[in-house]
Amino acid sequence: MNKIIKNIRINILKLTHKAKSSHIGSCLSVVEILAVLYNKVLKKKDRFILSKGHAALALYCTLFEKKLISSKILNSFGSNKTILMSHVSHKVNGVEFSTGSLGHGLPVAVGKALKFKINNENNKVFIVISDGEINEGTTWESLLFASHHKLNNLTIIIDFNKIQSMDFVNKVINIEPLKEKLISFGCNVYQINGHDLSAIHKALLKKNNKKPKVIIANTIKGKGISFMENNNLWHYKNPNLQELNNALNEIKKKYA
Amino acid sequence: MRKLFIKQLIKLNKSKKIYLIINDLGFNVIEPFKNKFPNRTFNAGVSEQNMMGMAAGIASEKCKVFVYSIANFSTFRCAEQIRNDIDYHNLPVTIVSVGSGVGYGNLGYTHHALQDYALMRSFPNMLILSPGNNNELISLLNYINKKPQPSYLRLDKDEHEKTQLKTINITPGKIIKLIDGNKRKIILTTGSVQSIAKKMIKNNYKNYSLYSMPMWGMKSKIKVTKIIKNFSEIITVEDHFYDGGFGSWLQESINDTKIKTIIKSKYIKNTVINEVGSKEYLLKKYGPK
C-alpha cells in the first residue's frame, strides 16, 4: 500500500509539473483516502464519485495504479487531444461521474443510493467532497434528503484539508462546529486522521444502521511535501523543475 | 395537460423503470402515479438543485426519470445541474415544466415561463417537447419512452378538450399539418398556442396553412432547413420571448444558407410583465397576435 501511495504522489508531482496545472495541494491531501477506497473497499458493484473534481489528477493516478488506465493515457495529462481534463471526466475508464463545479456530486450520489435502496440492491455509494463544498447549498439539501430516506448505503468522506481556494476555511466562511452540524442533519459522523490508512479503512468499514455515514477526514493540503503543506499558494501554482526535484527527494527519503 | 401527462406516464410504466420526482408541487395531479408506483415517486422537497442532481443519479443507473415542477423551478433554478449532470452525461431525464408562457398569469412574473426555451435549447443534447394538443402530448411521451434522452417537456397548465386520442408519428424537427391552406405560406406553432394561430388565420392570415412542430432542439437545426425551403413565408407563433425562443431558433437555422424563405415571428413581448392578470388577459395584451 505504501508503494501505491508513493507512486501516486510521484505521478501527481511529475504530471502537475509537466502539465503546468493547478490544484496540486488538493490532490496530495486526498491520496490516502483514494488509495484505501480503490484498493481495500470498493467492490465492482459499488459506486464512487470524486465530487472535488479539481483533484482529478489524484484520481487518474489512482486508476493507473489499479491498471484501469494505461501509462500512455496517464502521461497525456495536460497535452492536447487528451481525455484527461483537469476536472474529473466520465470519459475516462473507471470514472463514474464527471465533476468540476462544486456541490454537484452529492445530489447525484444520493440519487444512486436511493435507487439501490428502494430496489433492495446492496450496492454501496461512496463520495469524496471537499471542505469548500460545505459552503454549497446542495450539500445540505442532499443531507436532508439522504437522512430523511435513511440512506445507510451512502458514505460521504469530507477531505477536510482546512484550506479552500482563497484562504483557510475558517477565514472564508466558518463551517464549525462541523461534526455537530452533520449530526444534527441526521448523519452518523466519524472524525479521523485522513492520512492514517488503518483509520480510513476502519471508518469505511463501520456498519451503518439507518443513517448516511459521514467521515470527516482531517487532512493536510499539500500533504507529504514540506513546502507545499498548509499553503494555499499550491492550490494554484505548479512546481518548477527545482521544486519538483526537491519534492521528489522528500518523497524518496520518506519511503526509503 | 397535467392530468393527461400523468395518465399516460402510468400507462408507459409497465417496466417500472420510470421514476417521478417532484419538488413539493403537483397537488391533485401526481397522486394517481404515486398511488400506483409509491416507490417510484419521490418528493425532493423545495430543493430543485438536489432534485435535478438526484434525477441524474437515478437515471445513471439505467432508469428513466421525469422531474415534474412548474414554471422556472425545474429549469432556471437548477440550470447548472441540467447542464453538467444531465445534458453533459446524456442521461434519460425528462424535465417537465407546467405553466408555459403566462399560464400562471395571476401568480406574477416569478411564475411565468418566458425564457425557458432560451435556456433549454442551449444544451446540445436536449430535446424540446412542446405539445400543442393532447394528441401531440401522448405522442411525445411515447417517443421519449422509446428513446429516452435529456428532454424538456413544456406543458400548458390548462387541460385541453377531451377528444378521441390519436397517436401521431412525431420525430425531432418534423412539422405536423393542422389546417390545409396555402401551400407556400404557413403559420408554424410550437406549444399551446394553436388556438391563437387559428384566430390569426381567421383575421390577418387568411388561407395560410397551419402546422405545428412539437419536438425540436439544437440537434434538429440542420434537418429543419430542408423543411423551411419548401415555403415562401413562415409565421412562427409561440408563448415565449422572441430572444432565445422558437422563432429565433428557426431563423438561426437558415443563417448562412441560401434559403430565401421569409420568417416572421409572433411571440410574447420581450419585457418584464409587472402587471397581474389571467392567462387570457396577459396573452391578449402581451402575446402573439
CATH number at residue A234: 3.40.50.970
Residues B7 and B149 in one domain: yes
Residues B190 and B139 in one domain: no
Over residues A129-140, mean pLDDT: 97
- Count other C-beta atoms under 10 Å from residue A254's C-beta: 12
Residue B57, chain A, CB below 8 Å: the answer is yes
Residue among A96, A118, A145 minimizing CB distance to B45: A145
- Count other C-beta atoms under 10 Å from residue A51's C-beta: 29
Using one digit for the tens of pLDDT, what is the confidence trace for A72-127? Answer: 999 999 999 999 989 999 999 999 999 999 999 999 999 999 999 999 999 999 99
B56:A90 CB<8 A: no
Let me know if residue B46 belongs to a domain: yes
How many degrees, rounded to 5, is the angle at CA B33 between CA B31 and CA B37? 115
Coil vs helix vs strand at A235: helix
- Residue A68's contacts (CB-CB under 8 Å, 6 or more residues apart) are A93, A94
Alpha-carbon distance A176 to A103, whole Å? 18
Residues B256 and B132 in one domain: no
Let me know if residue B50 belongs to a domain: yes
Coil vs helix vs strand at A50: strand
Q: Which residue has the cell 471542505?
A: A131
- Domain assignment of residue A153, given as a range: 2-254
- Which residues does chain A have within 8 Å of residue B49's beta carbon, measured at their own beta carbons? 103, 107, 137-138, 141
Total number of domains constituting chain A: 1
Nearest CA in chain A to B44: A145
Confirm whether pTM is higher than 0.95.
yes
Alpha-carbon distance A71 to A75, whole Å? 6
Element (H, E) at A166: none
- Domain assignment of residue B212, given as a range: 176-286
Q: Which residue has the cell 465530487?
A: A51
Closest of A116, A5, A15 to residue A57, by C-alpha? A15
Categorize the per-residue pLDDT at A245 as very low, low, confident or very high, splitting at 50, 70 and 90.
Answer: very high
How far is CA A49 from its chain centroid?
9
Coil vs helix vs strand at B213: coil
B56:A110 CB<8 A: no
Residues A96, A46 contacting (CB under 8 angstroms): no
Shortest Cα distance, chain B CAs vs residue A109, angstroms: 6
- The size of the A-B interface in CB pairs under 8 A is 83
Residues B214, B140 contacting (CB under 8 angstroms): yes
* Domain at B23, CATH number: 3.40.50.970
Tell me the HSE value of B232 on the side-chain side, using a 13 A CA sphere: 5
Q: Can you give the pLDDT at residue B160?
A: 86
The identity of residue B206, as a single letter, is K
Phi and psi based region of residue A202 (left: phi greater than 0; alpha: psi -120 to 50; beta: remaining): alpha
- Which residues does chain B have within 8 Å of residue A96's beta carbon, measured at their own beta carbons? 60
Residues B11 and B138 in one domain: yes
* Domain at B263, CATH number: 3.40.50.920
- Which residues does chain A have within 8 Å of residue B45's beta carbon, measured at their own beta carbons? 141, 144-145
Residues A147, A187 contacting (CB under 8 angstroms): yes
A141:B47 CB<8 A: yes
Residues in chain B with pLDDT values less than 70: none
Residues 174-233 of B with CB under 8 A from A: none
- Which residues does chain A have within 8 Å of residue B54's beta carbon, measured at their own beta carbons? 107-108, 110-111, 114, 142, 145
Let me know if residue B166 belongs to a domain: no
Let me know if residue B170 belongs to a domain: no
- Which residues does chain B have within 8 Å of residue A116's beta carbon, measured at their own beta carbons? 61
Q: Can you give the pLDDT at residue A256?
A: 74
How many degrees, rounded to 5, is the angle at CA B83 between CA B77 and CA B86? 100
Q: Can you give the pLDDT at residue A192?
A: 98
- Which residues does chain A have within 8 Å of residue B56's beta carbon, measured at their own beta carbons? 107-108, 111
- Residue B143's contacts (CB-CB under 8 Å, 6 or more residues apart) are B129, B170, B171, B215
**Residue B270 has which C-alpha cell?**
420581450
Alpha-carbon distance A164 to B20, whole Å? 37
Residues B149 and B211 in one domain: no
A145:B54 CB<8 A: yes
- Residue B122's contacts (CB-CB under 8 Å, 6 or more residues apart) are B218, B244
Residues B26 and B117 in one domain: yes
Residues B129 and B232 in one domain: no
Residues B286, B278 contacting (CB under 8 angstroms): no
Alpha-carbon distance A67 to B36, whole Å? 46
Using one digit for the tens of pLDDT, what is the confidence trace for A162-194? Answer: 999 999 999 999 999 999 999 999 999 999 999
**Residue B236 has which C-alpha cell?**
412562427
Let me know if residue B167 belongs to a domain: no
- Which residues does chain A have within 8 Å of residue B88's beta carbon, measured at their own beta carbons? 98
Total number of domains constituting chain B: 2
Residues B183 and B148 in one domain: no
A111:B53 CB<8 A: yes
Residues B145 and B181 in one domain: no
Strand-by-strand arrangement of the A188-193 sheet = A47-50, A125-130, A154-160, A213-218, A188-193
The identity of residue A6, as a single letter, is K
Give the number of residues written for chain B.
289
Over residues A35-49, mean pLDDT: 98
B50:A142 CB<8 A: yes
Let me know if residue B264 belongs to a domain: yes
Residues B39 and B144 in one domain: yes
Using one digit for the tens of pLDDT, what is the confidence trace for A107-121? Answer: 999 999 999 999 999
Using one digit for the tens of pLDDT, what is the confidence trace for A191-204? Answer: 999 999 999 999 99
Using one digit for the tens of pLDDT, what is the confidence trace for B86-102? Answer: 999 999 999 999 999 99
Residues 77-136 of B with CB under 8 A from A: 80-81, 84-85, 88-89
Please name the residue ranges forming H helices in A119-167: 137-148
Alpha-carbon distance A92 to A73, whole Å? 9
Residues of A within an 8 Å Cβ radius of B = 90, 96-98, 100-101, 103-104, 106-116, 118, 137-138, 141-142, 144-145
Using one digit for the tens of pLDDT, what is the confidence trace for B172-199? Answer: 999 999 999 999 999 999 999 999 999 9
- How would you class A133 by CB atoms within 10 Å of its CB: exposed for 0-12, middle for 13-18, buried for 19 or more? buried
| Mean pLDDT value across chain A | 96
Q: Can you give the pLDDT at residue B246?
A: 98
Q: Which of B19, B22, B42, B54 to mutate to test the interface with A (most CBs of A within 10 A)?
A: B54
Residues B86 and B115 in one domain: yes
Q: Can you give the pLDDT at residue A209?
A: 87
Residues B99 and B208 in one domain: no
Let me know if residue B162 belongs to a domain: no
B56:A107 CB<8 A: yes
Residue among B39, B53, B59 minimizing CB distance to A138: B53
